[in-house]
Amino acid sequence: MNWRQIVLCLCLLATATSTWADDAENTEATIPFFNLKGDPSTISNQHILEFWGYHAAESGDTTSNTLKLRYYQPLQYDQWRGTMRIDTSYVDAYGPLVTNQNPGHYSAGNTMLTLWGNHPGFLSSWDATLGGRVIFPFGNNSQWAVGPQVGMVFLPTSKGALPLSDFSPLARYMYGFYAKNQNLANAVNQQALARRLELYPTLGFNLAPDTQLRLWDENGLVYNSAGGGWFVPIDGMVTHRLNKHFLIAVGASKQVVQTYQQYNWQYYGKLSFNF
């Protein structure tokens, strides 16, 4: 499956979902079997600043620690409403396969910009968001990567009927490329160019009034369209809101299918401040 086929699949998914939504009762996107209805007001007007920490075990006894800063900025232009998200990180990788790296030696990780939103006059009955992501060639990663994404949020039609708080699927395809001045000799030691489909079948469950269990929220399924292979993890995160401004979360992820190499296991946590 090449990148053109992946993009075509995303377009077909968007078209099919839009048609399904148009045929639904009250022209709203629904999943009748689970009593879920699309939520057209999924765009938050909150500014959110998050501090993340990750510890991951990778192949060849390699271990990495990552510190990440993530920021959400609400956007609005006329009737279009959206969100801009910026991620930047430092990574400490060490192990027998990592040259000139020792614990405490941090290097620049991925810096990403993600933008998504919706307009009431565009596929109004679909209740979806359209957007895209750009990964910048900073640190040891010399490649650019860009990709479109499509997502939806489904909520229960009646409160208390299910412990499920939301079903928020998202699909994204990332396509990597080198800058024009990239030297092929320098590119040999870099990561392979990104050609991957990212799927997030995110599920949220209410454990208590201020506590949730979220599955496949931070880490999703990945298909490598360049050489084939899947990475499928079991990913779970427990979030707890301390008050209207602060939220804390801890999570863990373990691979169950890894014909496309990512990591063996990972645990992580975050502190989130919204204002």
Where is pLDDT greater, at 44 or 7? 44
Find out whether 87 and 109 touch, Cβ atoms under 8 Å: no
Find out whether 132 and 144 touch, Cβ atoms under 8 Å: no
pTM comes to 0.84
User: Where do the DSSP E strands lie in 4-79?
Assistant: 30-31, 36-38, 48-57, 63-77
Given a cut of 70, whether residue 165 has pLDDT beyond it is yes
Given a cut of 50, whether residue 87 has pLDDT beyond it is yes
Mean pLDDT of the chain: 83
102 phi and psi angles, rounded to 5 deg? -135, 155
CA end-to-end span of the chain: 43
Beta bridge partners of 111: 136
Pair of tokens at residue 161: 């009927």
**Percentage of the chain lying above the pLDDT 90 cut:** 54
Query: What's the rounded Cα separation, in Å, for the pair 65 and 107?
Result: 11
